[in-house]
Chains A and B, each alone.
Chain A
Amino acid sequence: MENAGVLRGAPDTGSYLSESSVKSWLTTTDHKRIAILYAFSITLFFFLGGVAATIIRLELFTPNGDIVSADGYNRLFTLHGIVMVWFFLVPSIPTTFGNFLLPLMIGARDVAFPKLNLLSWYLFVIAGLLTVATLLAGGVDTGWTFYTPFSSLYSNSNVLLAAAGVFVAGFSSIATGINFIATIHMLRARGMTWMRLPLFAWAMYATSLVMVLATPVLAMSLLLISVERIFGLPIFDPRAGGDPLLFQHLFWFYSHPAVYIMILPAMGVVSEIIACEARRRVFGYQFMVYAMVAIAVLGFLVWGHHMFVSGQSPYASMVFSFLSFVIAVPSAIKVFNWTGTLYRGQIRFSAPMLYALGFLGLFTIGGLTGLFLAAIPVDVHVTDTYFVVAHFHYIMVGASVSAFFGGLHFWWPKITGRLYSEKFATLAAITMFFGFNFTFFPQFIAGYLGMPRRYYHYAPEYQIWNVMSSSGAVILAAAYLAPLAYLGWSLVRGERASANPRGATGLEWSVPSPPPTENFDRPPVVTVGPYRYHPEHETHQAPDHPAHEPQRSA
């Protein structure tokens, strides 16, 4: 039993879960426990944002307003956006898998600043409470983007409270980013060179750079909105000669890079899953690394593509359009390399792999429709329609959330020490893929036909697409709820997991499941690169894994 060490009076040999008092959790500086704290918090917010989405989809089932008022609808989609972006997607993978796995993957005992790590969770909780308070006080109606002059002049809702919540959440992000950057620079095990880092660690590095450099600009823009509201300063107020576009520039200078905060970690997760479940080395490892760094850097140079119809200079629009096409190149490199990794792989269609393959397809659709939107003439046509809504949900939900669930299943045995039911998990993964497409693909069509976003009362000719979308959302909701049941069950009755049930490479699989508090008995020494699923020049099959039997004809 994993508690045997504790009983012998040697607490440092127990698993990280062996202490169970509430105080031991709330004061922990163990990166693995902080990951669990974060996991609980973001799960709550995921379902809170999900409830808002459910009401939105119910409302849109018919063209007339039935359930909520027009103002109530504004508050609903704002709540959905704020919660899902800042309280689920941005923290999701970095604060859970990042916190849990990064030190293990690079052979460290903990992150560089464990107390700062705990502080970041408390900041997150404070930010979350401010957001819940906003909700209880009646919500906000500005949209998650806080566009001026909606947010500064015309909104009578709780803008200041909501902005305070997002402001504090930003500092939690910055703290996590600083911690990860310092951890990767200073705590890699002996022999863990930069080009031997698992791609997930690289993804955390690229994400952290964006968190540290973009989030403070968001903090400042929210501060300026607050000052404008409190003191009546005409910073963004066009009537007094202020400049509302200045706000959009500041906001998107953060919020476009934030899109990469949400997708880069997903890319890292999927790289780990695909390599392991296809028993292949990652195709073009170095290009995968450079592509992620390129995405992080270029991500800072494309914010203006959110402003093609804002009246900004057409020359600026052209440059932003060109750069948006450029950033598609590293993203495409990654898609090709994942596909290349599958080539001649011994593919296991396990639940995590199904999520990863789903990611690959949905990310490709989301990315390609992103190219449509980067082209100014098309963008002008579909701006603020459901086409845009469908596009970013393919990236944020189809890709990021699928990767999150993929990672959850992939590392579940490592994190909890239990095996889940592969049958239910496979079913949930397939259901999620279909439910997602059923929900969001019709929105591309509705948007292309001209249905505007953020309308709760729409023209009746769009009803068919909305009925499809709302029906799909029911399936999607079931797929999101199912893991609560079978993963929860696995905690009680699941089979005990061995240290490496998937036969994966990577230092996190070299320690027991669940890992001991101090991670490694002695500091590991790394002598080889990642993903050694087959010899370097061997192109046929993994040596440690027998080839599949040829597929039988039915």
Chain B
Amino acid sequence: MATPPSALHEPWREPERQHDAMVFGLWVFLASEVLFFGGILLTYAVARHADPQGFAAGARASDLFFGTLNTAVLMTSSLTMAVGERALKEGLVRWARWALIATVLLGFAFLVFKGFEYRDDFEKHLVPGLDFRFTGRAEQLFWGFYWTATVIHAIHLSVGIGAVGRLLLLDWRGEMPSHWMGAEATALYWHLVDIIWILLYPLIYLTGRP
């Protein structure tokens, strides 16, 4: 694909090389992210190992409906992100546009459902420290994990929505085809956020359920 010079940044001379570097840099960043989440997953493992029954009792209070719905939403967004990125690479700008719009909307839908779930959690006294429903340590730790991990995940997802939104903004300005380089890096990031959710889903919603 022809790339106008505007998309080529210092210090790069060839668009292919710049593209490779962006993707490579993002992979290195993903490695860093994996260790970031590794810290909290280790804490989860230690806490769950210390009191499996109490942990399961805490986990049973989680909302399976919203969890499953959001998993479906986010998996679908991965599909639309992949379609959008491939379409952009193949020069199918119309396809790419609609797929990316769908991705952003699904991302927002996830956040909205998550908001409803958070509201229910508040009403059910599932916030440690705020008139918490359980007294056991394991239950507190489970819900501490729940809030910390899902809020960090939601922040990551918001950044992802911003990145896809940026691609759409470029499209609106008519610069999209020249920025296909950014699309692959954005897609990689989006899939990482989804994969983290795939890990969180069983750890939060399926633990404690037969």
Contact = CB atoms under 8 A, between A and B. Distances in A.
Given A216-B39, A220-B39, A250-B42, A174 B32 contact: yes
B90 interface: no
Interface string A212-239: 1111110111011001001111110000
Nearest to B37: A220
Contact of A231 (B29, B35, B39, B129): B129
Contacts of B40: 220, 223-224
A219 B37 CA distance: 10
B7 to A, nearest CB: 14
A467 interface: no
Contacts of A478: none
Nearest to B130: A231
Given A174-B32, A216-B36, A235-B43, A114 B11 contact: yes
B140 interface: yes
Interface in B20-67: 20-21, 24-25, 28-29, 31-33, 35-40, 42-43, 46-47, 50-51
A181 B141 contact: no
Contacts of B39: 216-217, 219-221, 224, 250
Count class of interface residues, chain B: 35 or more
A550 interface: no
A442 interface: no
A216 B148 contact: no
Nearest to B24: A182
Contacts of A220: 36-40
A181 B28 contact: yes
Contacts of A112: 11, 21, 25
A458 B193 CA distance: 53
A216 B11 CA distance: 28
Contacts of B17: 186
A167 B127 CA distance: 25
Nearest to B148: A227
B54 to A, nearest CB: 10
A220 B50 CA distance: 21
B43 A246 contact: yes
B140 A233 contact: yes
Query: Counting chain A CB atoms within 10 Å of each CB, which of B13, B20, B141 scores highest?
Result: B141
Nearest to A240: B137
B123 interface: no
Given A233-B144, A235-B47, A178 B36 contact: no
Interface in B96-143: 127-129, 137, 140-141
Contacts of B32: 174, 177-178, 212-213, 215-216
Nearest to A224: B43
A2 interface: no
Nearest to A241: B137
Contact of B36 (A111, A185, A186, A219): A219
B31 A231 contact: no
B144 A235 contact: yes
Nearest to B35: A216
Most buried by B among A116, A185, A186: A186
A232 B10 contact: no
Question: Which 3 pairs between the two chains have the least Cβ-Cβ distance?
Answer: A220-B39, A216-B36, A109-B11
Interface of A: 29, 103, 108-114, 116, 174, 177-179, 181-182, 185-187, 212-217, 219-221, 223-224, 227, 230-235, 240-243, 246, 250, 523
